[in-house]
Structures are given as C-alpha cells and as structure tokens.
Structure 1
Amino acid sequence: MDELMSMMNQLADGETAQVAQSVQEIMQESIVPAVAAVVLGLVICFFGLKLIRVLAAITGICIGAVAGAALALVFGLQGTAVLAASAVGAVLFACLGAILRRVGGFLFIWVLTAGVLEWFLAPGTVPFHLICLGVGLVIAVITAILMDPIIIVLSSVGGGIVAGLAVSALPGLDLNILLTYGICAVLAILGIVVQFMMKSREVGKKEKRYSESVKEEKSVETEVEKARMLLEDDPADLETDLETDLEADGEPEEKTEEK
C-alpha cells in the first residue's frame, strides 16, 4: 500500500520516469508482476480490438484512480479521503470507457501510446512528459475518429512492446537490447495479422447475416405480393376459372357414361 501511495504521489508530481523505474524494479524482484505483464501484453497484442471495452474499463479504472487520488492530494486530503476519491474516479472512468466505445478507445490508446513513449524515452523533465502525453493525445483523437484499423495496429504494436519488455525483465533472463526489440517486432507483426484476420471474419459473418435477412425479406414481399394479386383478381374471372376446372374434372365421367 505504501508503494502504491508513493507511485500515486509521483504521478501527481509528474515524475512518470520514477514510476516506470519503480515498476521495472518490482518486476525484476519478483516473477509474478513480470508474468502478469507478459500475459497482459499478449492479450492486448492479439485481442486488442476484440476486448476493447474490457481494456477500456481497466484503463478507465487506472486513469480514474490516479486522477481521483491526485485531485484529493491537490486539495490537501489524506488517508481514507484519498482512497475514496480514487475509488469514485475509478468507477466513473471505468463506466465511461466500457459503455461509450469511442471514449473507451480514446482513453485506451492515449494511455497505451503515452505509456510506451514514457517507457522508451524515460523523459526526465516536464516538457518531455507533456510531449509524450501530447503525442498520445493526438493519436487517441485519430483513433476515436477511425476506430477499428487504428486500434488494431496500435494495440498490436503496444501489446507487443509491453510483452517483449516484460519478457526481458523476467528474473534470470539476460536478453540483449537487439533480441528484446526483435521479440517486440515479431509479436507486433503477428498481432496485426491475427487481429485483421479476426476482423475480416467478423465482417464476413455480418455480411452473410445481412444477405440472408435481405433474401428472407424479399421472399416475404413476394408472398405478400402474390396474395395481394389473388385478392385483387376479378370475381368474374375467378368464376370462369372455377367453371373451367369443374368442366375439366367432369369430362372423364361423361366419356365413361357414353361408353
């Protein structure tokens, strides 16, 4: 709890580089956080678009918790009040991210992009932090407009980077920088391919369901049109057709009687 509060204070003060270093130290001390980061990175890499609402809700929880705690600290609150503000912010942002898909995509890509830039660049001054946040914000706005293709590409790249860096941080592994970058690149490419394939299948299923519904609708319209034409036929024509049918049915009997 003390480490969590310390990281929240660092985030509130804009010390994101120190937060990233603290997270990396925790991952190197224990295998559990590193494995969790690998799993999370792979999920984002291969299922970013499919699970966008879930990922957006998780992102909303993180953003809301940090924002609520930072706001409480700004107003001089301490202890339970900080935790309460953090909880309220987490619930609020999680609901926004999960319910509103574009808002969720915006928040998720913003945090993912800015986080990856912070991790790579490790900026030590406020202007560099603002640049990372600004670049992430611009990309997040583009994502909110175009949505699916951008989410696929960025989630694959971001998830691949997170998983690759987490693998290199596993205790007992000593990977050089080139091998780490290679793992990140391979995972990113595989994630893009897999996600676009899943998206293509989803679009194909939607088109198939739409074509079947159109055929069914046309069939119903055809049956209705036939029924309407029958109802609109002239009664005299119907009577003539009936007499013709009766005469046709009676001809065999008459021929039999003549014989």
Structure 2
Amino acid sequence: MIMNMDYILGQVQGYLDTGMAVLTDKGRGLGQADLITLIVVAATGLLFCFFGLKMVRFWAAVLGLAVGFSGGAYLASYFGLDGYIPLIIGAAAGLILAGLCAGFFLAGAFFVMWILGTAGSACILQPKDWQFMLVCAAIGLVIGLITLKFAGPVTMLVTGICGGFAAGQAIYILLPLKNRIINIAVIAVLAILGIIVQFLLESKKRKKQHLKKAEEIRNTQSVANEVDKARAMVDNLDQEAPVMEAGPDDIGEEPEDEDEAYSGMDFDDIDEDIDEEFLEDDEEFEDDDDIQIFSLDDDEK
C-alpha cells in the first residue's frame, strides 16, 4: 500500500513539477504547447479569480468528474480489472461525484476548497513523500471544513487568491519582462481585484434578493389591508342598514290569501267609519218618515 501511495505521489509530483516549470521557467523559449498551456491556465485563473463563488458548482462538477474518474479507474486497475472495465468504473464514479458536487452547493464548495487547499499547500511545501502529501491533504481538509461554516467568504477568498496566483503567473510569463517585483505585483493586483469583485457581485445579488423579498412582503400586506378594508366596509353597511318589514304591496307581489292581504289594516278605524255612516243614514231615514207622515195627514184632511 505504501508503494502504491509512493507511486501516486510520484505521479502527482510529476504533474506539479511540469506545471510549475511552465509557470516559472521564463528564460527558456516557449513552444506551442507551452503557449496553449499558459493561455488555458491564465483564462482558468481569471475565471476562478473573478467568478469563483458564482461558478463554484461548475468547478465542483469538473473537479468531481476528474477526481472520480481517476480514482475509480485506478482502484479498478489496482484490483486486477483490465480492458474497458476500469474506464467504465472510472466514468461512473466521475459522473456520480460530479453530480453530487454540482447538485449540492455546500458539498461542491467543500470539495473545491479541499482540492484548492491541497494543491496550494503542495505547491508551497513541495512534498517529497506521502507523509507530507497527507499534511497537504489535511490542510485542504481544514479549509474545506471551514467552508461548510462560512461558505461564501471562504470561497471568495480562496478562489480569488488561487486564481490570482495562477493567472498572474501565467500572464507574467507571457509578458516580455523579467522582474520579480512585477511578477508579485501582477499576482497581488489580480488577487485583490478578484476578491473585491466577488464581494461586490455577492453584495449586489443579496441586495436584489432582499428587495424581492421586501416587495413580496409589501404585496402580501397590501392585499391583506384591502381585504380588511372591504370586510370593515361590509360590517359598517350591515350595522347602518335599517330594519324594514315590507308587505306584499311594497315589493309588487300579489297577496297569496286574504289574511296576508289585510294583515296590515287597522280594523278599529274601519268599524268607527262604518258606525258613523250608519248613524247618518238613520237620521236621513227619520226625516223622510216625518215628511211622508205629514203628507198623509194632509190628504186625510
């Protein structure tokens, strides 16, 4: 197992030496492959530097695919599998790890920070055996665990520094200058600008989210106020409306029976009117009788 770890470390160290040689050997002539590598490193570093937090899911998917494929293929070969089986296992492991890292923000940020922390520590410490490589991995793990608590700030700081270093070093090699101070200045300026830009973009994003949330709350309260006003208006109308008992004549309907038709009449007033009429008729009748009797008497005479 130690021999396998030494072999893996040797491979990783070889890749690091090759990359560092391209990024540091300014004196020698650059071939076409070196130019392409520097341009790719500069572009990737600038993206990390200025859009590290915004593109963290993308970087997590890319690194997850690469690490999962390499680890799965190596483990399959270690256990004696050959042919296309290691490639298939590596591809499956890479896709699964890429999907998990891209689908969950914290998992992706943790993974990216772990890889960047490990790679940065390895570039600084230059480990010669697997024990020092484990130390670099432990440093990256600590950075990843801190990222779980402070995902945004840590991601912006680490990606800004790492991206600024990679892009600044590549740009410095491409420039026709040989001055160490200029090299450090380019790296520092890019790193600082990248961190500031990322914080400004994140602040703008959070401001938009707060404004949107405030607008939603305002709309909700406005609707609630309108509903309360309408309910209060209906209650006031119910309290102020007079209680009226309308008969059938008021609503323009024919009474269904006689009791309903005369339910609103005052029968005492009707009786008094009838009695007065009868008294008047009696008096008239008495006068007529007298006249008739008087006329009869004249005839007899």
Structure 1 length-normalised TM: 0.81
- Determine whether 1:51 maps to 2:55: yes
* Residues 67, 174 of structure 1: alpha-carbon distance in 2 compared, 3 angstrom cutoff: farther
- Give the secondary structure class of the aligned counterpart of 1:123: coil
- Give the secondary structure class of the aligned counterpart of 1:13: helix
Identity fraction in percent? 31
Q: How does 1:101-120 map to 2 (within 5 A)?
A: 101-120=105-124
Tell me the residue number matched to 1:129: 133
Tell me the residue number matched to 1:63: 67
Tell me the residue number matched to 2:152: 148
Tell me the residue number matched to 1:253: none
Deviates more, 1:53-62 or 1:173-182: 173-182
- Determine whether 1:166 maps to 2:162: no
Measured in 2, the distance between the counterparts of 1:188 and 1:26 equals 20
> Cα deviations across residues 161-216 of structure 1 (Å, max 9, x unaligned)?
1212333455x856454433332221110111100111111111111111111111
Q: Which runs of 5+ in 1 are unaligned?
A: 1-8, 241-259
Aligned with residue 18 of structure 2, among 8, 17, 22: 22
- Determine whether 1:13 maps to 2:16: no
Measured in 2, the distance between the counterparts of 1:239 and 1:82 equals 90
Measured in 1, the distance between the counterparts of 2:78 and 2:157 equals 37
State the aligned residue count. 231
* Residues 181, 17 of structure 1: alpha-carbon distance in 2 compared, 3 angstrom cutoff: farther
- Determine whether 1:40 maps to 2:44: yes
Structure 2 length-normalised TM: 0.70
Measured in 1, the distance between the counterparts of 2:178 and 2:36 equals 19
Tell me the residue number matched to 1:97: 101
Deviates more, 1:181-190 or 1:146-155: 181-190
Tell me the residue number matched to 1:6: none
* Residues 50, 83 of structure 1: alpha-carbon distance in 2 compared, 3 angstrom cutoff: same
* Residues 210, 237 of structure 1: alpha-carbon distance in 2 compared, 3 angstrom cutoff: same
- Give the secondary structure class of the aligned counterpart of 1:151: helix
Q: How does 1:162-241 map to 2 (within 5 A)?
A: 162-170=166-174, 175-233=178-236, 235-239=238-242
- Give the secondary structure class of the aligned counterpart of 2:9: coil
Aligned with residue 73 of structure 1, among 67, 72, 77: 77
Amino acid of the structure 2 residue aligned with 1:73: S
Amino acid of the structure 2 residue aligned with 1:179: I
Q: CA deviation at 1:119?
A: 2.1
Q: CA deviation at 1:142?
A: 0.6
Measured in 1, the distance between the counterparts of 2:19 and 2:9 equals 15
Check conservation: 1:11, 1:19, Cα contact below 8 A.
Answer: no
Tell me the residue number matched to 2:282: none
Which one has the largest radius of gyration? Answer: 2
Check conservation: 1:17, 1:119, Cα contact below 8 A.
Answer: no
* Residues 70, 173 of structure 1: alpha-carbon distance in 2 compared, 3 angstrom cutoff: farther
Check conservation: 1:12, 1:70, Cα contact below 8 A.
Answer: no
Q: Which runs of 5+ in 2 are unaligned?
A: 24-29, 244-301
CA-atom RMSD, angstroms? 2.4
Deviates more, 1:215-224 or 1:73-82: 73-82
Measured in 1, the distance between the counterparts of 2:169 and 2:181 equals 11
Measured in 1, the distance between the counterparts of 2:170 and 2:124 equals 13
Amino acid of the structure 1 residue aligned with 2:18: S
Query: Highest relative contact order (Cα 8 Å, sep 6+), 1 or 2?
Result: 1
